[in-house]
Chains A and B, each alone.
Chain A
Amino acid sequence: MSNPGVIILDSCKKSIFQKILNRNSFRYFQIEDNIGESIHLHFDDFRIELSISDFFEVCDAIKEALNNLVNLENFDSYKIDPLFLKYASKHLHDLIEIEIVEIDHDNTRFILNNNRFKLPFLKKFKAITANDLFEINKEPRKYKFFNVKNNKDYFINSQDDTFKPIVDENYIIRDGKHRLFIKYQTKEKAKAYLWKFRNNSFKINFIKHYLIIITRRIIMVIKNKIKKLAQIFNNLVEKVFN
C-alpha cells in the first residue's frame, strides 16, 4: 500500500498562465512528510527522497544561500518565521534595506480578521484584546495538526528580549504580531525591523486583497454546489437504472 501517512508540508503550483509564459519552469513543487518512510521533494515527475536529518541539512543550505543572495544587513533567514519567509519570498528581489526602528502603541497597526466576514482590517494595539488576537482572529497561514488552543502559551514561551517584529513602510506588523502584542502588554515601545522595498512592492493593497478573498469564496461555493448537484444527478441515474 502506498503510505497513507502523508502530510503535505508545502507546495507551490504554477498557474496556467505562468506555465504558458515559461514552459521550461517546473509545474509544481511539493514537500511531503511520508511518516516513517522519508521526506519527499517533488519537482514535477522527479522525486528526491531524504531522511529527516538530510532534509534539515538541505533546508540550512537553502537558508544560507538565501542569506548570501539577499546580502543585506539584518537579513537572517534563520531568524525569520519560515511561513512568513515563504509569503514574502516573491518580493525579496525588491528588498533594498532593513532598518531597525523604534515602534510604539500608536504608530503600529495589526492586521486582524476578527469580524463576522473574516476580512482583514487594520487595528491599533489599544483597539484589540488578547481574545481578538488569539481566539477570534484566524490566521490564514497555519501548520496542519498545530494545536490552536496552545497558541497563546506557545507565543508567551517563545518570547525573548532580542525578538523584533517585521514592519513595512506603513508600520503595519507583517510578522511577529502575536509576540509583539504580548510585549506591548508590558512595554510602551519596542524595536522592529523595517523592511523597505523598491517601488513599495510589499505594500498591502486591501481592495485587491478583498477582491481575491471574495472571488475565492464565490468559486468555493460554486464548486461545492456543482459537486452536490453532480452527486444528486449520479444518485438519480443509479436509482433510475436500477
Chain B
Amino acid sequence: MNYKEFICEVFGDFNKNNIDFIILRKDEIIFEKIKNEDVDILISLKDDEKVKNIFLKKKLTTYTDSKYNNIYLYKSKPHKHYYDKKICINFDVCFDISYSSINNKEFIPIDDDELELIWQNKIKIYKNNFFYYKMDRYSQLIHLICHCIFDKNQFSRYYSDQINNLLNQKIDHELLLKMLKKNFYKFADKLLELLLTKKFDTIFKNYLTFKEY
C-alpha cells in the first residue's frame, strides 16, 4: 500500500467510526505527497481511544511528545504521533491548538471558546471515498499567521502563498483585525498592514521590535 492509499484508508476508517477530524495545514498537498510532510490533524479528546485503535490496527508505532523536554502551559496537551517508517508517514495528532511562546518555546493553547468556534465553523470537504474537515477561512488565516510567527518565527514561501490566497478571497478586514487583536493586541493593525502589502519577510522582525504599547 502506498502513502496516498494509506491516508485515504485511515481517513475512511475515521468516517466509519464517526470521528471528526480537522486537517490543520497543507491538506491540499498531503494527498499528493509532494514532500515528506507530517499529517497534522486535530481531533477531540473523546475520540483519542478510537483513533488509537485504528492506528494500532494498522500497525503504526506511537509515541507522545515529551512532557519532560517540553513545557505545556495552561493545560495544553502534548501531541501524539503515529508513524510508519516504511510508508514514510507520520500522523501528528493534537487535541487542542497550541503555539510555542517566543520566550522558551513553552506551549500555550488557544482559549476553549476559540477552539469551540473552530469546531463549529469547520468546513466539510469530500474526497473520493471519504471526507475530512478544514477550518473556515478566518480561522485558517489566524492559525497560519500564529503558526508562522510563534512556531516558525518566519513565513515560508508556502505559507505566504496560502495566506495571500486566503486574503484574496472575500474577507472582512474589520472582522479579521478583531480576531488578530485577540492574539497580537496592539500589533494587530501593523500586522494586517504588512499582510495586505505582502511584506511577509519583515513581519517577525517587526513583531519583535514593535514598541507602540
Contact = CB atoms under 8 A, between A and B. Distances in A.
A211 interface: no
Nearest to B189: A36
Interface string A207-242: 000000000000000000001101100110011001
A6 B62 contact: no
Could you say which of A3, A35, A38, A227 has the most chain B C-beta atoms within 10 Å of its C-beta? A35
B110 A5 contact: no
A37 interface: yes
Given A4-B101, A6-B102, A235-B63, A36 B52 contact: no
B68 A5 contact: no
Contacts, number: 82
Interface in A3-19: 3-8
B32 to A, nearest CB: 31
Size category, B interface:
35 or more
A238 B207 contact: no
B210 A36 contact: yes
B66 A4 contact: no
Contacts of B99: 1, 4
B98 to A, nearest CB: 9
Contact of A3 (B56, B69, B114, B185): B185
Contacts of A231: 66, 68-69
B11 interface: no
A52 interface: yes
B186 A36 contact: yes
B160 interface: no
Interface residues of A, number: 26
Interface string B58-78: 000011101111000110000
A2 interface: yes
Interface string B172-213: 000000000011111110000000000000000001101101
Contacts of B183: 1, 3-4
A51 interface: yes
Could you say which of A2, A234, A238 has the most chain B C-beta atoms within 10 Å of its C-beta? A2
A46 interface: no
Contact of A234 (B64, B182, B184, B185): B64
B63 A36 contact: no
A5 B66 contact: no
Contact of A4 (B63, B114, B150, B210): B150
B69 A5 contact: no
B84 interface: no
A145 interface: yes
Nearest to A6: B103
Interface of A: 1-8, 34-38, 51-52, 144-145, 227-228, 230-231, 234-235, 238-239, 242
14 contacts: A1-B108, A1-B110, A2-B73, A3-B183, A4-B102, A6-B101, A34-B185, A35-B210, A36-B185, A36-B186, A36-B188, A51-B213, A144-B103, A227-B68
Interface of B: 52, 56, 62-64, 66-69, 73-74, 99-104, 108-111, 114, 146, 149-150, 182-188, 207-208, 210-211, 213
Given A1-B99, A1-B108, A35-B207, 8 more contacts: A2-B74, A3-B183, A4-B99, A4-B150, A35-B102, A36-B213, A37-B185, A52-B213
